[in-house]
Every structure is written in structure tokens, then in C-alpha cells.
């Protein structure tokens, strides 16, 4: 049997269909990005219809019977398992089997609800009033359960949801992994917080004009390799990265004039996502081999650049003189003090502002709430109080308002239920990748100290980015690091950095 057969007509048809669908989905991404940044409020009803039509059209084109026939024909051929066509076919088959179980009308209905829910969430967050968002969350949960029932699952409906973000993961597997991680974090937190107590919480408070933050953030993002000829940074309520098409990757952040750290680290985080998107094979855009393989792999890239690079002492040794040009008030602070300040450990309310030690506790809380909501053991009306109760148990803080609690994240308003665990999986993967990168390049620490980011970026391109979805996420991380995702490297990193 040949391992490199000629591409049959059926495979070429699949490629054409995939690229046609990508035109519709990328157009929808552009409309969604516009909704999150510049869209006038009165256009919401029509925007919801636009997004519903585009999603329904793409869904119908993909689940068409001839698409299944083309796949069957191609699956009879003898491509090598790690070849580009085999990778595409594996992912297409997985997606097709799921997509055909959900009718287009349900997809369209979800898009309409998502469009309205994200606007309701913004208003509810501004007013710190969960009641404004609850009816929309109820609708999203009802449709999400319908989709989970359609996709099917062995144990929990949550399994069908997380499958869409991290193929192969289940609620039971995640609970087991997180049950190992939680006590490890609990052992690191007290000494790490005690060590940080000497650093004043307000040491970085000052006046940082938005224009100066924008200029500095752009300089940093460009230095680590983000291509501004193929992307841009804009302002929104909740930071995100979105690819609108080939050569068009958008980052967003938010600004606080008294705290430049929030925007800087959200830009580093989103630029990590952006580097992954820009590192995917451009010729394969619209196909699985030109698409990121999973959210846990994606989050490994963002968490790596944000934390392992951006919060390391080498970062501020290099960037301190440049930062002082934009923010003269930093001249009175040493690089070591700034490093200590951006790594200060202590419980806080907002996930995206959490330190590296407590961050995963924020994720574990959201994971348990998501599972309970989907499985029906927690009602939406009871969710804010449950959040507050569990948050106090985990982090010792009383939540005084919904904006600091269950309304702080956009994810549930746009139907991303099952996404949150991938942040912690991303932390675990990031630690493994950095450990392996340092093993294979003993000069890495010196390069980062000199602000030379190309070697690390090139290593990630070789090990992660260029593969797209050719390998499943578990196999990709094993190939890149030599072992499956686990807690050891992440916990060792936290202990070495925050406890000593």
C-alpha cells in the first residue's frame, strides 16, 4: 500500500469545501470582532441575524451528504498517519460526526442568543447586576444541553462540551488531574504570599496615559514577534485574540490609567495566542492543518509568553530602560522591584489579574460551576451565591459585587462552556514546553536576558505552530516535550519561583 497516494478528486473537493466554509466563518469572526469593539448598539438585532445566517450556511455546507461521501472515498486510501491529508481527514471526520448530530436551526438559534447575550453581559457587568444576564444564561445553557445530547456522551453532558475545546478530555479526567493540582497549589500559596508581603500592593500605582501604554505594548508585542502587518491591537471590555482571516489576527486589551500592568500582560497573553495563529501554515488556512489543534495548546502559548517570559526577572532587566521612556515614574523603581511587584502573590477577585499561584484556583472554581450548571445540580439563580461561597473557601475573600464574581468573564455569555479548564491545562503545557526548550537550548536564559526572543519563538514554531492539527493535542505535547500533560513541571516551576 502506498503511503503517498495521489490526491484524488474527492480530496480536492474537500479542500475546496473547507476553504469555502472558511470564508463564511472568517466573515462571521470579523462581524463578531466588530461587535466587541466598534459596533453601534442599535445594530445588534441585525448583527445577530447576520451571524446566525453565516453560521447556519457554514454548517449546512459542511454537513452536506456529499461531504461525507468524499470523506469515505478518501479514507480508503493509504496516506501515512502523520501526513498532511491524513491529519486533515482525521479532523474533518471528527468534526463531521459531531456536526451532523446538530441541526442547522439549532446552530442559528445559538448564534442569535450569543449575540444578544454578550451585550446583556456587558450591561450586567457594568451595573454589577447578575439578574440582567440570568435570562440569557438560561437560554445558553438550555441550548448547550441540547447540543450535548445531540453529540452524545458516556458519563456527563459536560464531556460533549469540553470535547469541542480539548478533544479527548472528560469531566472525570479533569477532576482527577485537578484533584492532584489543588493541594499542590495550596502548599505553595502560604509561603509564596508571605514572601510577597514585603512588596507593597500599590508600588506600581501611578499615572500611565493610555497612549503611552499603547505605544509600549506595541513595542513589546513586536519584539516577541507579533507581525503588525498581519494584525493589530484594539480596545474592548474583555481581552481576546481573534483570527479574522489569512494574514489578519486581532488582539484586544483594556486600559487602566493608574496601572499599566493590566494592559501589558493581557497584550503579552493575547500576543502569545497571536504568535500561534501567525505561525500556522498560511497555505493551509481554512483546513485542519492550518488550524490550532486545541485550546489547551493555544493557552500554553499565551501563558508561556505572559508568565514564563514576561514575568521573569530577565524581562524587566531588559525592558526597564525602555519602559522608563514611556513611563518616567518607573525610574524610581529598580527592575528587581518591578519584577517582584508583577509577581506579587495574594488572593484577588479578577482571574485575568490573578498571580500565577492563585490563578489555577480561579479556573478550578469555574470548572466545578460549569459542570454543575450543565449537569443540572446547580441552578443559575443560585450560581452567584454559590460562586461567592466557594470563592471565599478557596481564596479567603468575600465577593461584594457580581462584577468581581460571576460576571467578570465573557465566556458564558458567548456559549464557551467547557473552555475554562483549558487555561489550567495550558499552564501545565507551558511549563513542560519551557522546561524542554531550555533543555534543548542551554543558551535560552541568556537570549531572553538580552531580549532575543526569536530562538524561543522559532522553537515553538517548529514544535507546535507548524503542525496545525496534524497531531491530536495529547500526541503533539508528547512529541514536543517527551511526556503527556501533567502537573509536575508546573508545580516545580511555581515552587522554585515563589518559594525558593
| Cell 536576558, located at residue | 449
Among 128, 161, 190, give the residue marking a domain's end: 128
| Same domain as 302, residue 193 | yes
What's the chain's average pLDDT?
A: 96
| Same domain as 472, residue 409 | yes
| Same domain as 390, residue 264 | yes
Whole-number Å distance between alpha carbons of 312 and 449: 9
Predicted local confidence at residue 436, as pLDDT: 98
Q: Give start and end residues of each alpha helix (H) in 76-229.
A: 84-99, 104-127, 130-151, 157-162, 171-196, 210-224
Whole-number Å distance between alpha carbons of 263 and 256: 8
Positive or negative, the Cα torsion across 385, 391, 392, 393? positive
- Give per-10-residue mean pLDDT for the chain (500 aa): 63 97 97 94 97 98 98 91 91 97 98 96 97 98 97 97 97 98 97 95 96 98 98 92 96 96 97 98 96 98 98 97 98 97 96 96 98 98 98 97 97 97 98 98 97 98 97 96 97 96
Predicted local confidence at residue 133, as pLDDT: 98
| Same domain as 333, residue 259 | yes
Domain assignment present for residue 164? The answer is: no
Among 99, 128, 157, give the residue marking a domain's end: 128
Domain assignment present for residue 485? The answer is: yes
Domain assignment present for residue 153? The answer is: no
| Same domain as 492, residue 384 | yes
Instruction: Please give the residue range of the domain that contains residue 472.
Output: 171-498
Among 111, 128, 145, give the residue marking a domain's end: 128
| Same domain as 244, residue 344 | yes
Predicted local confidence at residue 3, as pLDDT: 46
Given 270, 277, 299, 370, the catalytic residue:
270
Domain assignment present for residue 163? The answer is: no
478 touches 484 (CB < 8 A): yes
Predicted local confidence at residue 175, as pLDDT: 97
Domain assignment present for residue 159? The answer is: no
| Same domain as 217, residue 111 | no
Predicted local confidence at residue 6, as pLDDT: 58
- What's the number of domains the chain is made of? 2
Domain assignment present for residue 154? The answer is: no
H-helix or E-strand spanning residue 244: strand 241-245
Give the distance from CA 308 to its chain's centroid: 16
Cα of first residue to Cα of last residue in the chain, in angstroms, is 56
| Same domain as 398, residue 339 | yes
Domain assignment present for residue 39? The answer is: yes
Instruction: List the one residue out of 441, 206, 434, 410 whose CA is nearest residue 328.
Output: 206
> What is residue 232's three-state secondary structure?
strand
| Same domain as 95, residue 191 | no
39 touches 119 (CB < 8 A): no
The 3-state DSSP composition of the chain as helix, strand, coil percent (nearest 5) reads 70, 5, 30
| Same domain as 260, residue 180 | yes
Domain assignment present for residue 137? The answer is: no
Predicted local confidence at residue 81, as pLDDT: 86
Predicted local confidence at residue 5, as pLDDT: 53
Predicted local confidence at residue 1, as pLDDT: 36
- Cα angle 250-252-258, degrees, rounded to a multiple of 5: 155
Residue 376: how many other CB atoms lie within 10 Å: 10
Domain of 376: which CATH number?
A: 1.10.1370.30
Tell me how far CA of residue 200 lies from CA of 37, 163, 256, 348, in angstroms.
35, 43, 19, 15
Is residue 163 annotated as part of the catalytic site, yes or no? Answer: no
| Same domain as 488, residue 347 | yes
| Same domain as 88, residue 181 | no
Amino acid at each position: 500500500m502506498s503511503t503517498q497516494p495521489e490526491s484524488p478528486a474527492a480530496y480536492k473537493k474537500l479542500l475546496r469545501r473547507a476553504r469555502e466554509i472558511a470564508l463564511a466563518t472568517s466573515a462571521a469572526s470579523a462581524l463578531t470582532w466588530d461587535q466587541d469593539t466598534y459596533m453601534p448598539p442599535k445594530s445588534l438585532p441585525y448583527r445577530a441575524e447576520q451571524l446566525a445566517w453565516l453560521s447556519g450556511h457554514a454548517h449546512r455546507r459542511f454537513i452536506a451528504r456529499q461531504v461525507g461521501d468524499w470523506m469515505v472515498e478518501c479514507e480508503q486510501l493509504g496516506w501515512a498517519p502523520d501526513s498532511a491529508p491524513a491529519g486533515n481527514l482525521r479532523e474533518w471526520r471528527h468534526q463531521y460526526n459531531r456536526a451532523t448530530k446538530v441541526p442547522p436551526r439549532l446552530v442559528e438559534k445559538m448564534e442569535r442568543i450569543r449575540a444578544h447575550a454578550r451585550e446583556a453581559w456587558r450591561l450586567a457587568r457594568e451595573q454589577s447586576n447578575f439578574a440582567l444576564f440570568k435570562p440569557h444564561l438560561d437560554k445558553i445553557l438550555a441550548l448547550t444541553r441540547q447540543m450535548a445530547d445531540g453529540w452524545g456522551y458516556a458519563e456527563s453532558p459536560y464531556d460533549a462540551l469540553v470535547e469541542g475545546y480539548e478533544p479527548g478530555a472528560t469531566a472525570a479526567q479533569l477532576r482527577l488531574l485537578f484533584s492532584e493540582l489543588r493541594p499542590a497549589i495550596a502548599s505553595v500559596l502560604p509561603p509564596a504570599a508571605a514572601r510577597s508581603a514585603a512588596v507593597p500592593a500599590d508600588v506600581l500605582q501611578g499615572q500611565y496615559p493610555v497612549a503611552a501604554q499603547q505605544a509600549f505594548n506595541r513595542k513589546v508585542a513586536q519584539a516577541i514577534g507579533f507581525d503588525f502587518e498581519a494584525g493589530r491591537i484594539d480596545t474592548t471590555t474583555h481581552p481576546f485574540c481573534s483570527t479574522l482571516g489569512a494574514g489578519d489576527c486581532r488582539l484586544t486589551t483594556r486600559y487602566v490609567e493608574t496601572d499599566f500592568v493590566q494592559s501589558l500582560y493581557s497584550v503579552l497573553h493575547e500576543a502569545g495566542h497571536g504568535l500561534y495563529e501567525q505561525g500556522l501554515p498560511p497555505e493551509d488556512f481554512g483546513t485542519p492543518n492550518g488550524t490550532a489543534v486545541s485550546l489547551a495548546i493555544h493557552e500554553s502559548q499565551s501563558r508561556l509568553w505572559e508568565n514564563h517570559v514576561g514575568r521573569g526577572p530577565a524581562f524587566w532587566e531588559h525592558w526597564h530602560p525602555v519602559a522608563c521612556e514611556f513611563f518616567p515614574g518607573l525610574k524610581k523603581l529598580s527592575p528587581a522591584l518591578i519584577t517582584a511587584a508583577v509577581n506579587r502573590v495574594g488572593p484577588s477577585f479578577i482571574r485575568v489579574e490573578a498571580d500565577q499561584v492563585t490563578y489555577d484556583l480561579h479556573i478550578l472554581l469555574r470548572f466545578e460551576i460549569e459542570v454543575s450548571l450543565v449537569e443540572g445540580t446547580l441552578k443559575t439563580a443560585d450560581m452567584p451565591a454559590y460562586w461567592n461561597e466557594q470563592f471565599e473557601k478557596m481564596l479567603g475573600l468575600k465577593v461584594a459585587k457580581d462584577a468581581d464574581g460571576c460576571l467578570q468573564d465573557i465566556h458564558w455569555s458567548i456559549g464557551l462552556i467547557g473552555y475554562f479548564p483549558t487555561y489550567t491545562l495550558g499552564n501545565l503545557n507551558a511549563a513542560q514546553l519551557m522546561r524542554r526548550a531550555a533543555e534543548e537550548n542551554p543558551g535560552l536564559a541568556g537570549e531572553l536576558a538580552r531580549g532575543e526572543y526569536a530562538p524561543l519563538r522559532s522553537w515553538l514554531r517548529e514544535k507546535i505552530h507548524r503542525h496545525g492539527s496534524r497531531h491530536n493535542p495529547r500526541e503533539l505535547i508528547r512529541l514536543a516535550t517527551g511526556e503527556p500533560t501533567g502537573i509536575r513541571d508546573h508545580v516545580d516551576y511555581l515552587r522554585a519561583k515563589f518559594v525558593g
